[in-house]
Amino acid sequence: MLGLRTAITRTLGLADAALPFAGELIEVDPREEVWRGAIERVLHGFALSLLVEERYYSAVSGYVNEAHLGGRLVYFRVGRVEEVAARPISANSIYHKLQIQTGTFAAWLETDLKHRFDYACVDSMQAFRNAERALTREGQVRHGKTRHEKNDRFRIDDRSQWVLGFDNREKLALFEKEAQRLADEVATLDRRVRGLTDADAAQADRALVCRDLANVQWQEIDVVPLIERIGDIERVLREARESSPALQELGHRIESQLGRVDKLDEGLVSVRAHIQSLEKDTREKEEKLQALGREPALMSLTAVQIAELSARFDAQSPKLTLDNIDRSAQRVERALTDELEAMADRHNKLARAIEERFAEFQRRWPMDGGDMDATLSSATDFLAKLKRLETDGLPAHEQRFFDLLRNQSHQNLAALSTYLNQARKTILDRMELVNESLSQAEFNVGTRLRIAASDRQLPEVREFRQEIHQALSHAWTDDREQAENRFLILRSLVQRLASQEAAERRWRETVLDVRLHVEFIGREVDLEGCEVEVYRSGAGKSGGQRQKLATTCLAAALRYQLGGADHGAPVYAPVVLDEAFDKADNEFTALAMNIFANFGFQMIVATPLKSVMTLEPFIGGACFVHISERRHSSILMIEYDADHQRLKLPERTHGETPVAAT
């Protein structure tokens, strides 16, 4: 079933954890261990079922339909848990003896277990017969009023058949213990087979000897005639040797050679004994090697492992022999242990580095990494996401991103910087026109007022310009790291500029409104250009001086605002002043009107009668406004003598307010 699930997840590009088995999310409460075997029988089929979330259902069902699975698969489509009428669960129900792992599937599992597996765990057959659905410790199950089941194909306490639990360490230990027992049993049977094989070989040798004895004739074992015949031959030979000196010499030589043969036979016996000793030692070593090869803890070595181990043993000094093989093996084992520890340390560092990358991915893109945890267990999910990103053409989008960052960001930032500089230059240029107009009107006797613009040196503006300069630096480089740094600066700028928070809106207005970057200072200079006084505000001045300064600055400000696109004198610029010059003396009134006239303004002023005489040289017409009972108004037009710049005032003008138009 694990292999079947792996085939599905690998084909669909999912992690195994995305399609859990129900049994992986359910386990029997340790306090209910006596019911473990019986509950495993009831939930065995359900535990081997896959749980498929709604988002994976279409892909999984399509794959299962098209593929030949080679086995039986049950899976459940897990979606939103439907609200159903709650049915009471018996106190001894299987449900109360289970633990459900918290997570995405917990609510669905809880509902399904209550609905499908509400089996009463009973201790007596009387209770078993009375319940509609019940379960005994011995594993008998009552599924309803008529259907009963008891599956004893395996023992109820056979843990190898259990599938419930959050982890499989206990089951793995059980299989390892069983593997050790079977290995011991195989070794015992091998020894018995070898003993029976040796006994069979001895019995065969005995049968061959008995067969040879059965075929022997009496003449073949009657040695008396042979002994007599040998005695006669030896007597003839002895007589022949004694009668012939040559034979005697030959006899002596034969005896000498026989002595040498005896000595060689003794040496041969010694060599054969040594060979037998070596053969015995070899057999013992081979038996020991075979026994070691049958150890269950040993694994088959790959070709690479064999070659590497051979190289390590060949590099040992002194040369490898049977006598020093144990010491050499210990040295090789220590070297391998040191290397494994170093590799484990490096593995841990790499694992931490990878997990840090996972965590950084989740911090930077929480929407994409929110359903994964920053551990190696989620590496398959992260790699699958990387594969999808590469398949979607992320490198091409990344290259286009860097091209746009290098080209358009540079152009836009340069345009913004140019705009700020040009706006500041425009202010200075327009102030030159204002000062040119101010130079044509006296501020005091023998002096002129000049307005100077100076940089306020705001920290926010300075930092903003530094960030723009930093973002523009290295704009055309191909270094991706520098481009990333530029992007971070740009992103921070854009986020602040686009923010709707009150503090950020104030900051945006401060750094983008160039008018806030400068302050205006009034400098009173004489006809030779020497500075007489500096006006940063009206503090410390008399009322008349403040009024004169305010009026002059007002005229300059209006001239600045109404200068037009070509910064020339305004074509149509009427200025209405109510209660004009009511507290000013005639000298200041004439000065102010002269300034407004030089700036090209059309003045409409409402003033008391006492200022009319002073205004006459600057107006082109006038009228008197009369109000009676604060309800009725009337207007009397006054003729104006343009040649003498005088009004032809009527006799009845007391108490009225004249209105003059320049």
Residues 6+ apart with CB under 8 A from 586: 611, 613, 614
Assess contact for 586 and 617: CB atoms under 8 A.
Answer: no
Residue with more model confidence, 582 or 32: 32
Residue with more model confidence, 572 or 163: 163
Q: How far is CA 497 from the centre of its chain?
A: 29
Rounded Cα distance, 65 and 57, in Å: 12
pLDDT at 654: 47
- Number of Cβ within 10 Å of residue 599's Cβ equals 24
The pLDDT tens digits for 122-170 are: 898 988 888 888 999 888 889 888 899 888 888 888 888 888 888 777 7
Q: ∠ CA 103-104-106 to the nearest 5 degrees?
A: 65
The pLDDT tens digits for 439-471 are: 777 777 788 888 888 887 888 888 888 877 777
Assess contact for 581 and 611: CB atoms under 8 A.
Answer: yes
Residues 6+ apart with CB under 8 A from 459: none
Rounded Cα distance, 477 and 528, in Å: 55
Assess contact for 634 and 624: CB atoms under 8 A.
Answer: no
The CATH number corresponding to 562-662 among 3.40.630, 1.10.3470, 3.30.950, 1.10.150 equals 3.30.950
Q: What is the mean predicted confidence (pLDDT) over 569-586?
A: 75
Residue with more model confidence, 437 or 503: 503
Least trusted range by pLDDT, from 158-167, 191-200, 426-435, 582-591: 582-591
Among residues 19, 24, 18, the alpha carbon closest in space to that of 46 is found at 24
Q: Is the pLDDT of residue 567 over 60?
A: no
- Number of Cβ within 10 Å of residue 570's Cβ equals 16
Helices 394-438, 480-498: inter-axial angle, 10-degree rounding: 60
Q: 101: phi > 0 → left, psi -120 to 50 → alpha, else beta; which?
A: beta
pLDDT at 212: 84
Give pTM, 2 decimals: 0.35
The DSSP code sequence of 535-566 is ESSSTT--HHHHHHHHHHHHHHHHHHHT--TT
3-state secondary structure of 587: helix
- In Å, what is the CA distance from 162 to each residue of 23, 37, 71? 10, 8, 19
Which token pair is 502?
């009150």
- Number of Cβ within 10 Å of residue 363's Cβ equals 10
Q: What is the H or E stretch that residue 623 is in?
A: strand 621-628
pLDDT at 394: 60
Assess contact for 497 and 468: CB atoms under 8 A.
Answer: no
Based on DSSP, count helices (H) and strands (E) in the chain, helices before strands: 20, 17
Q: Is the pLDDT of residue 200 over 90?
A: yes
Query: Which amino acid, 392?
Result: D
- On the 0-12 / 13-18 / 19+ scale of CB atoms within 10 A, 604 is middle
Q: What are phi and psi of 93, to 5 degrees?
A: -70, 155
Q: Is the pLDDT of residue 406 over 70?
A: no
Rounded Cα distance, 421 and 514, in Å: 9
Q: Is the pLDDT of residue 651 over 70?
A: no
Helices 459-472, 394-438: inter-axial angle, 10-degree rounding: 140
pLDDT at 189: 93
- On the 0-12 / 13-18 / 19+ scale of CB atoms within 10 A, 48 is middle
3-state secondary structure of 433: helix
Assess contact for 577 and 606: CB atoms under 8 A.
Answer: yes
Spell out the domain ranges in the chain.
Answer: 2-167, 401-536, 562-662
Q: What is the H or E stretch that residue 646 is in?
A: strand 646-648
Rounded Cα distance, 22 and 165, in Å: 10
Rounded Cα distance, 320 and 433, in Å: 103
3-state secondary structure of 634: strand
Q: What is the mean predicted confidence (pLDDT) over 290-302?
A: 70
The pLDDT tens digits for 327-339 are: 788 888 888 888 8
Assess contact for 118 and 90: CB atoms under 8 A.
Answer: yes
* Structure letter (DSSP) for residue 33: G
Q: Is the pLDDT of residue 645 over 80?
A: no
Rounded Cα distance, 61 and 49, in Å: 14
Q: Is the pLDDT of residue 662 over 60?
A: no
